[in-house]
Chains A and B, each alone.
Chain A
Amino acid sequence: LPLPLVQSPSPALPDAKFINPDWVALHTSRGYESQPHKLFMRTTVFVADLLVYIPAVILYCFSLKETSAKKKVSSALCILLYPGLILIDHGHFQYPLSLGLALWAVLCLSHDWDLLGSVAFCLALNYKQMELYHSLPFFCYLLGKCFKKGLKGKGLVLLAKLAGTVLVSFAACWLPFGTDVEQIMQVLRRLFPIDRGLFEDKVANIWCSLSVLIKIKNVISPRTQLKLSFAVTFLSLLPACIKLTVQPSLRGFKFALVSCALSFFLFSFQVHEKSILLVSVPVCLIINEIPFMATWFLLVSTFSLLPLLLKDELLLPYAVTTPAFLAVCLASFSILEKTSAEDLQLKAFSLSLKGYVSWVKSFPRIVRSLFLLSVALMGALSVLSVAAPPPQRLPDLFPLAVAVVSCLHFLLFLLYFNVVMLWDSKSRGQKKIS
């Protein structure tokens, strides 16, 4: 990846050599893990967080429209307290730059600074190719905007400007790698490990969950696997993308970010557990619109990371931050009271189902009990994963159980987010443009 390579030597070199030359010796520093070194690396993650991700969150929350100051502060607090990102960035160790830059891109787009937004997103994309999960909504939204402005006038100008910006950003990032096609192909091959197969390890993916019933890897050939996953992903993306292109609205854009990333996560190949963060961060963006479902989703996403966290010995931070997050969300948004159809933005949907459904009356109570049941189930599984030894015949029982439970939740969430987006009424969409 062009960007991370540029980023890592520059802040490290002046300080590290001065502090301890052992750290930067290229070949001998592999696996080097003394305490001051760990502290240094973790401090760089913290600084990156402070400079990129946290300002983006704060600015985003404060530029939210139609929310009181108190709600803005509580939204910012809840987003920053999201356990998944904290645990992965500062526990597992990862730089929050790609997500931060993507967030900046969303921020720019919400202020109508399209060019700046696309530059930010290109940088994010060149930092981590996982951001491709978000690329389709960006593309469709900007395309839709161009269409709206009319292809014969301003729209075409905007389109040209955007295309130019993207090309220049990409060129700037890839230039150091020269123009040798072979080298570029090598980089691409590393970025997209198609040969590795449909999934690795236990991830809350549909393929992994299906493999409990039928061993997909044995039934279908690798090429067909690839085509199948590509087709299913594409099909599940289609409704949201079409709606976004036809009716570009900021709200729709945010929901599309969520549903597209979730589709990719569920159906794509070689998905890593950490990719759920690419879905969680957009969900954080809509936390003030649908606090209940957002909180629920964020809890499930943290839960789905449990096997990874256990491997990294992050059980205690997980056990502390997750209840803390739930407590803060409960207090800030009083989510348990906001479970009616209207609060869940399902009004339009339920209206079109009016003829067929009579359960609407006790809907809030059902939803609330489902939520409590789900939280109880996740809590129980967490405790079991740690306390009980798995049976002899099924050594992977608990990671697999975590993956399957999360996957079922994610499927329901995918359905929900798509429904909300597609039934987002026309009048609402028009009012909320830009």
Chain B
Amino acid sequence: MAAGGRGWFRALALGVSFLKCLLIPAYYSTDFEVHRNWLAITHNLPLSQWYYEATSEWTLDYPPFFAWFEYVLSHIAKYFDPQMLVVENLNYTSRATVFFQRLSVIFTDTLFIYAVHECCRCINGKRAAKDILEKPTFILAVLLLWNFGLLIVDHIHFQYNGFLFGLMLLSVARLCQKRYLEGALLFAVLLHFKHIYVYVAPAYGIYLLRSYCFTANNADGSLKWRSFSFLHVTLLALIVCLVSALSLGPFLVLGQLPQVISRLFPFKRGLCHAYWAPNFWALYNAMDKALTILGLKCNFLDGTKIPKASMTGGLVQEFQHTVLPSVTPLATLICTFIAILPSVFCLWFKPQGPRGFLQCLVLCALSSFMFGWHVHEKAILLAILPLSLLSIQRAKDAGIYLILATTGHFSLFPLLFTAPELPIKILLMLLFTVYSFSSLKSLFRREKPLLNWLETIYLIQLVPLEIFCEIIFPLTPWKQHFPFVPLLLTSVYCALGITYAWLKLYISVLTERTPVRQKAE
């Protein structure tokens, strides 16, 4: 269409931005009020009050850099509607407020667009194709820019994930380009914007240590202990300390560090979110429920000893499991640690350059998603987006990506439960899924099929599941007594898919034979 060069990238970016503008009047969740509240807090109150303010239930629970970001935004906000900056104006949603906040998300997405541009530059696909639509960089650009999950979480549900993922992808790109210090700096900054990225910190740490602090390898690929560079280590440490000082320094001086930590890591919340994120604990809960019901039926359990309010009541509190042992935060930490260990070892002992790093990153993100405490289902995006970078390079990764992306995106459906958003989410999901399947299939058409018959059947079954949950179930009489059934079904079914993708990726990483020569990719 457009004359050669990067015209197609501009067209993609412009097109998706137009789409985001059209989504401005759509449904927004309570996260909208969260961010409005933070705008008000950072604008009106002094620094010392930021992490103590509790007029609204949505207290500041992101690290200080994000608070500064809201502070900067608030100075632009006052030209749109000064009323939104009043802390007491809870749930204030004038037209100008909605317009401003949505526009700010769309605007900050330019960082994401730039990061995608950089990623496309440093990722070389398998082969150069003549037709633009078949180029791996084109496919990658579409999979990232038009990612369904990011679109509905950021531009409908309302969050600021765009520029945060932009920072992450940019740091990945810098590491791929061997600009290690920049990559480290970007990641350190990112951590202080949103601490959920600590899930993937091990991957960064080990990779930087292995490939940057130890500057050379032996001929057979193993570590050359002699090549340890104190300079590099010092530089890295300096960067991390500087960034942390900038971010937490003021609060350290004020002696507010414990308060900040307690706000950032609220362990009072339960094992699972109100809607179970499709991870291992969802399967664990479901198993517990099933065993409870079985136990009651077979009279192994005493009905009076079981707590009435179940975990599926949709409340965010701590509950005990009935049959299986209860899970504590420490237990989840240990499980996550054990789950990450193999991938980290792999990164250390069999480094494969940037691709190995990406694999470890995805595995860390997925493992943390699987076993973390109070994981949000939105965290699946942390795994899906970096996996897109791997999917255009190898057929195996493409297959795993298709499973993970489709089930991950489907698990985001319950976030948009309003009727007018139903056509939008179904249409966008279909568009993205159809495109990802067809483009990846055509990219790897010379190899064997990406998905085997079992995986294909599993993915196809998502359609009847969706029809049942959205259309049939609300019309049945069970809606009154068991309102959580669609959520439970979605959660458990997606958990199966995500667990399968995780295992498959792990196995493929662990059994990968290291190439004889180190290829710089």
Task: Confirm or deny: B1 has a beta carbon within 8 angstroms of a beta carbon on chain A.
Answer: yes
Q: Closest CB-CB distance, A39 to chain B, in whole Å?
A: 5
Does A221 belong to the interface (CB within 8 Å)? no
A86 to B367, CA, bound (A): 45
Is A74 part of the contact surface with B, judged by Cβ < 8 Å? Answer: yes
Interface string of A253-268 (1 = CB under 8 A from B): 0000000000000000
CB-defined interface of B3-26 with A at 8 Å, one 1/0 digit per residue?
Answer: 000000001001100100110110
Q: Smallest CB–CB gap between A117 and chain B, Å? A: 33
Q: Is A336 an interface residue (CB 8 A)?
A: no
Interface residues on B, range: 10 to 19
Partner of B22, one of A39, A74, A317: A317
Asked if residues B25 and A39 are in contact (CB atoms below 8 Å), the reply is: no
Instruction: Please tell me if the beta carbons of B24 and A316 are within 8 angstroms of each other in the complex.
Output: yes
CA distance A128 to B71 in the complex (A): 56
Q: Which residues of B contact A320 (CB under 8 A)?
A: 18, 21-22
Tell me whether A36 is interfacial, beta carbon within 8 Å.
Answer: yes
CB-contacts of A4-59 with B (<8 A):
35-36, 38-39, 43, 46
Stretch at the interface among B34-42, B325-333, B417-425: B417-425
Q: A316-B21, A316-B22, A324-B18 are in contact. Are A39 and B2 (CB under 8 A)?
A: no
Assuming the contacts A316-B22, A316-B25, A327-B14, asked whether A74 and B419 have C-beta atoms less than 8 A apart, the reply is: no
**Chain B, residue nearest A18 (CB):** B475
Residues of chain A with a CB closer than 8 A to B419's CB: 35-36, 39
Q: Mark A317-351, 1 if CB is under 8 A from B, else 0.
A: 10111011001000110000000000000000000
Count contacts on A: residues with CB < 8 A to the other chain: 17
Q: Which residue of A lies closest to B95 (CB)?
A: A313
User: Are B22 and A35 in touch, CB under 8 angstroms?
Assistant: no
The docked-state distance in angstroms from the alpha carbon of A6 to that of B21 is 38
Output the least CB separation between B305 and chain A (Å): 43
| CB closest chain-A residue, reference B418 | A35
- With contacts A316-B22, A316-B25, A320-B22 taken as known, whether A43 is within 8 angstroms of B423 at the C-beta atoms is yes
Pairwise interchain contact B1-A331, C-beta atoms closer than 8 A: yes
Q: Decide if A331 touches B21 in the complex (CB within 8 Å).
A: no
Within 412-441 of B, Cβ neighbours of A (below 8 Å) are at 418-420, 422-423
Instruction: Please name the residue on chain B nearest to A323 by beta carbon.
Output: B18
The verdict on A35 contacting B420 (CB below 8 Å), with A331-B1, A331-B2, A331-B11 known, is: yes
Whole-angstrom distance between the alpha carbons of A74 and B11 in the complex? 14
Q: Assuming the A-B contacts A74-B1, A331-B11, are A39 and B21 also in contact, with contact meaning beta carbons closer than 8 angstroms in the complex?
A: no
Which residue of A has the minimal Cβ distance to B423?
A: A43
Interface centre among B418, B419, B422 (most CB of A within 10 A): B419
Residue numbers in B under 8 Å from A35 (CB-CB): 418-420
Q: How many A-B residue pairs have CB under 8 A?
A: 30
CB distance from A398 to the nearest CB of B (A): 20
Q: Give chain B nearest CB distance to A393 CB in angstroms.
A: 28
A263 to chain B, nearest CB (A): 35
Instruction: Determine how close the nearest CB of chain B comes to the CB of A367; give it in whole angstroms.
Output: 22
Residues of chain B within 8 A (CB-CB) of A332 are 1
| Whole-angstrom distance between the Cβ of B28 and the nearest chain A Cβ | 15
Residues on B with C-beta less than 8 A from A39 are: 419-420, 422-423
Query: Which residues of chain B have C-beta atoms less than 8 A from A321's C-beta?
Result: 22
CB distance from B212 to the nearest CB of A (A): 43
Look across to chain B and name the residue whose beta carbon is closest to the beta carbon of A39: B419
Q: How far is the CA of A300 from the CA of B420 in the complex (A)?
A: 31
Nearest CB in chain B to that of A40: its residue: B419
- Give Cα distance in the complex from A74 to B1, angstroms: 9
Contact string, B90-124, partner A, CB cutoff 8 A, digits 1/0? 00000000000000000000000000000000000
A39 to B423, CA, bound (A): 9
Chain A: minimal CB distance from B473 (Å): 14
Contacts of A43 in B (CB 8 A): 423
Contacts of A317 in B (CB 8 A): 22
What is the CA–CA distance of A311 and B420 in the complex, to the nearest angstrom? 21
- Which B24-79 residues have a C-beta within 8 angstroms of A? 24-25
B105 CB, min distance to chain A CBs, angstroms: 15
Cβ < 8 Å to A, chain B residues 354-411: none
Chain A 169-192 near chain B by CB (<8 Å), digits 1 or 0? 000000000000000000000000
Q: Mark A58-102, 1 if CB is under 8 A from B, else 0.
A: 000000000000000010000000000000000000000000000
- Shortest beta-carbon distance from A337 to chain B in Å: 11
Docked complex Cα distance between A327 and B14 (Å): 10
- Chain B residues, Cβ within 8 Å of A74: 1
* B418 CB contacts on chain A under 8 angstroms: 35
Output the least CB separation between A302 and chain B (Å).
Answer: 15
Using CB atoms, name the residue of chain A closest to B20.
Answer: A320
Inter-chain CA distance A39–B425, complex, in Å, is: 14
With CB as the reference atom, state the residue of chain A lying closest to B22: A320
Complex Cα gap A36–B15 (Å): 29
Contacts of A38 in B (CB 8 A): 420
How far in angstroms is the closest Cβ of chain A from B519?
38
Instruction: Quote the shortest CB–CB distance from B220 to chain A (angstroms).
Output: 53
> Which residue of the partner chain A has the closest CB to B14?
A327
Q: How far is the CB of B5 from chain A (nearest CB, A)?
A: 13
A39-B422 Cα distance, complex, nearest whole Å: 9
- Which residues in A have their C-beta under 8 angstroms from that of B25? 316
The CA of A83 and the CA of B416, in the complex, are separated in Å by 27
Contacts of B1 in A (CB 8 A): 74, 331-332
A314–chain B nearest beta-carbon distance, Å:
10
Q: Which residues of B contact A46 (CB under 8 A)?
A: 423
* Chain A residue contacts of B423, Cβ below 8 A: 39, 43, 46
- Enumerate chain A residues within 8 angstroms of B18, measured Cβ to Cβ: 320, 323-324
Residue of chain B at shortest CB distance from A319: B21
B residues 274-311 near A (Cβ < 8 Å) are none
Q: Which residues of A contact B2 (CB under 8 A)?
A: 331
Bound-state CA distance A307–B291 (Å) is 64
Please name all residues of chain A whose beta carbon is closer than 8 Å to the beta carbon of B24 when the two chains form the complex: 316
Give B477 Cβ to nearest chain A Cβ, in Å: 15
Q: Mark A394-417, 1 if CB is under 8 A from B, else 0.
A: 000000000000000000000000
User: Across the two chains, which residue of chain B brings its CB closest to A332?
Assistant: B1
Please report the C-alpha to C-alpha distance between residue A204 and residue B6 in the assembled complex, in whole angstroms. Answer: 41
Residues of B with Cβ closer than 8 Å to A? 1-2, 11, 14-15, 18, 21-22, 24-25, 418-420, 422-423
18 A-B residue pairings within 8 Å (CB atoms): A35-B418, A35-B419, A35-B420, A36-B419, A38-B420, A39-B419, A39-B422, A46-B423, A74-B1, A316-B24, A317-B22, A319-B21, A320-B18, A320-B21, A320-B22, A323-B18, A324-B15, A324-B18
What residues make up the interface of A, taking CB atoms closer than 8 Å to B?
Answer: 35-36, 38-39, 43, 46, 74, 316-317, 319-321, 323-324, 327, 331-332
In the complex, besides A320-B22, A324-B18, 6 extra interface pairs with C-beta distance below 8 angstroms are: A35-B418, A36-B419, A39-B420, A46-B423, A320-B18, A323-B18
Nearest 8 pairs of A and B residues by beta carbon = A320-B21, A324-B18, A39-B419, A331-B1, A320-B18, A331-B2, A320-B22, A36-B419
